[in-house]
Structure 1
């Protein structure tokens, strides 16, 4: 779904346009403004796909605002919305993607959005052929244009951990002393510094050999290193930014929440036993569980049992000791009349807790199960 921002000094016009956009169901209205100066102050944080902009406004008219917005939001399409048809030439000279006359009909708005979507799709399709994705959920993997880069090899486990640490702190300086202490804690500083220099060299050569295009630069007058991410995408960064930027799940943004839910494929660096990553792993894990539960609860409230069950199944896969997930599945399967599946979820939870933690299910789960057994035995 496209992210849009609306700017119009008339409050009623904003309400009408937002209502029409919501009815179309193809966009997310992330911000509305009646004051163009305030909009310019906050524009750098929008990340909007489309900016709908009135032309006839006091203090700063739409044409002037568009010039400033083009500099602040170079990736955003600007669409003018006005009650007057005598600004069309100036609008297109200002690089506007479209020019709409009030009142804007739903069909006219739909065509505008589809045209911009198609244009963005062509640009993104060309860009994605060269787009580098770095994945850090579960294990570190590199993809180019959506395809795995299979010829990359880590020279040593230390160089792999070194990259993981620099990736976590991407675009920030990590001092050499910290890396030496982290990777070679039982080695003399002089020898560990040599190991670090060798690992950095090997890592740079591996990245270059596979044409990954990442730079590890010397920083802070040679006292540290920095992984420069450039245009590369990092999955755990995209995932968290997406979740934090969205409003709570509703009918309008549920598909976006669903895509973010799918993006979380496992724990941060979950395949590696890096103690330094544990706190971040747990933080993202908790955020994942909170987000997934909100999505599952939304589907439950909408009585979309299929999606609710699918979401809870994924929750217990990612968080195998999460009792509320099993209890929710037991309840849904009971409502569906799938009694064998109810028993299967209970047995799975009980076995897992005892095998791994030497614990029994909580009193709440046991009460629910006991009541269920009385009804069906």
Structure 2
């Protein structure tokens, strides 16, 4: 992120989208890149546009805001999520999805200003962190030694009981670092979570095969084993892989 914060507004009510878009125009750092009328559309547009922030209505038909947030958290670049609703009782649940903020409708100009300030502060800190990490290698401690692995050489990773196992072109490695932490460190690269216990490098994906109950199996380059893709991640995975 440079000086512009890309924003996606997802709300099934046009009046609410227009109202929020109007309030956000007051901030030079904010650029509303698109709008979505449904949860499904919000996910697809988030995958293709990679917004920094998604303002997400909680109450939408078919796929509500909480379900959308769950899918967005599986993306390579997870946007900040700002929930918006007329119902304050959803606030506690919203923060289970690591929401950055929670706005009540009708929108209050001062509350929106405070939310934008919070967004600016958080994204500036994140941008500095990513700039430092992009040039580095993943450090793994093994038998008292520190091994440095090129992120581009990692094929996939998975959680096995109390350790994370890393499968790379140079071999397999074991670390006590959690999968969530590994995902955070490798955020600037082409990694994608396909299951709560699996993280894959999209550069090595060669085939996606239907399995059962909406789940799929993933084939990786130069690997015989098939990896399970949870049905919750299939739609976002296909959107990332396909042109």
TM-score by length of 1: 0.35
- Which residue in 1 is equivalent to 2:19? 16
Verify the 8 A CA contact 1:43 1:73 in the aligned structure 2. no
Cα displacement string for residues 157-184 of structure 1 (whole angstroms, at most 9, x for unaligned residues): xxxxxxxxxxxxxxxxxxxxxxxxxxxx
Verify the 8 A CA contact 1:9 1:34 in the aligned structure 2. yes
- Which residue in 1 is equivalent to 2:53? 50
Unaligned runs of 5+ in 1: 133-143, 145-210, 217-229, 233-377
Q: Which has the higher helix share?
A: 1
Cα displacement string for residues 329-375 of structure 1 (whole angstroms, at most 9, x for unaligned residues): xxxxxxxxxxxxxxxxxxxxxxxxxxxxxxxxxxxxxxxxxxxxxxx
Q: 1:59 to 1:114 in 2, by over 3 A?
A: same
Q: 1:17 to 1:75 in 2, by over 3 A?
A: same
Larger Rg: 1
Aligned pair 1:117/2:93, yes or no?
no
Aligned pair 1:90/2:78, yes or no?
no
SS state at 2:26 partner: helix
Q: Distance in 1 between matches of 2:98 and 2:151?
A: 34
- Which residue in 2 is equivalent to 1:66? 69
1:130 is displaced (CA, Å) by 4.1
1:231 is displaced (CA, Å) by 4.8
Unaligned runs of 5+ in 2: 137-147, 154-186, 190-243
TM-score by length of 2: 0.52
List structure 1 runs of 4+ shifted beyond 4 angstroms: 213-216
Return the structure number with greater relative CO, CA threshold 8 A, min gap 6: 2
- What is the aligned residue count? 141
1:214 is displaced (CA, Å) by 9.2
SS state at 2:102 partner: strand
1:73 is displaced (CA, Å) by 5.7
